[in-house]
Amino acid sequence: MLVEDEKEFATVTRSALEQEGFVVDWMDTISLANEASRSAVHDLILLDLTLPDGDGLSLIPRFRADMPGVPIIVLSARGELTDRVSGLDRGADDYLVKPFELEEMLARIRAVQRRPNELAPNEVTVGALVVDTAFGEAKVNGSTLELQRREMSVLSALILRRGRTVLRESLEEAVYGFDDEIQSNSLDAHISRLRRKMNDAGAGVEIHAIRGVGYLLKAAS
Ligand code: CA
């Protein structure tokens, strides 16, 4: 999730991230970012501080509560030492002072994604399947399951809410940016590939379609 109110900066940042294969939800106010943190699963937050409806720092405690373990990188033109310290004190993982090179931003993103997470375990085990939702890695009996990025996003969203029905809309939001055009049957296509790959690997996991509502993941019975 990119929280940024400067349109030009956001557009450039977003396209750099998309080139790296990220799906980007761009929010330009605190209130939209708040809503998004409740309704969709994100892997990383890029947070500007000076936003039209307040100080981005105020979002950090909510992000920490709603998305434990999701790295937050503060992006701000305010480079003063006190701002850096208060951003990090409140739980940001890193801090980039504008202007910065996109290459540097991408390197910092890779670094926070690699960092072992002390706040919350990212590994979830169901059946013989072990998914690290922060690293975007799924293994069955120690062998990596080769998944496309969007298949991984669906799997993360389902496994984080295992045993519960996940609404179709939340899955679509996890797979596509809010502004991407969603093809009506593509979620089902991702799910069926995911099922086949997990089945072939002997994951011992089932994904049930709940007609008209969404999907539910659980250990095979
Ligand atoms: Ca701003």
Q: Where are the domains of the chain?
A: 2-114, 123-219
Question: Ligand 1 centre from 84 Cα, in Å?
Answer: 16
What is the whole-number distance in angstroms between the Cα of residue 9 and the centre of ligand 1?
A: 9
Show the 3-state SS of 22-37: CCCCEECCHHHHHHHH
Q: What are the per-10-residue average pLDDT scores of the chain (221 residues)?
A: 95 93 93 86 90 92 82 81 68 85 91 66 86 87 91 89 85 71 78 96 96 92 84
Instruction: Say how many Å lie between the CA of residue 104 and the centre of ligand 1.
Output: 19
Question: How many helices and strands (H and E) does the chain possess?
Answer: 8, 14
Are 2-114 and 123-219 equal in CATH topology?
A: no
Contact predicate 205/197, CB 8 Å = no
pTM above 0.85, yes or no: no
| The residue to which tokens 């931003």 are assigned | 105
| Rounded distance from Cα 22 to ligand 1 centre (Å) | 22
Give the CATH H-level superfamily of domain 2-114: Response regulator (3.40.50.2300)
- The pLDDT value recorded for residue 171 is 87
171 CA from centroid of ligand 1 (Å): 29
CA of 154 to the centre of ligand 1 (A): 31
How many whole angstroms from 47 Cα to the centroid of ligand 1? 9
Q: Which CATH architecture has domain 123-219?
A: Orthogonal Bundle (1.10)
Neighbours of ion ligand 1 (CB under 5 A): 5, 48, 50
**So what's the pLDDT on residue 130?**
94
Interval between CA 3 and ligand 1 midpoint (Å): 9
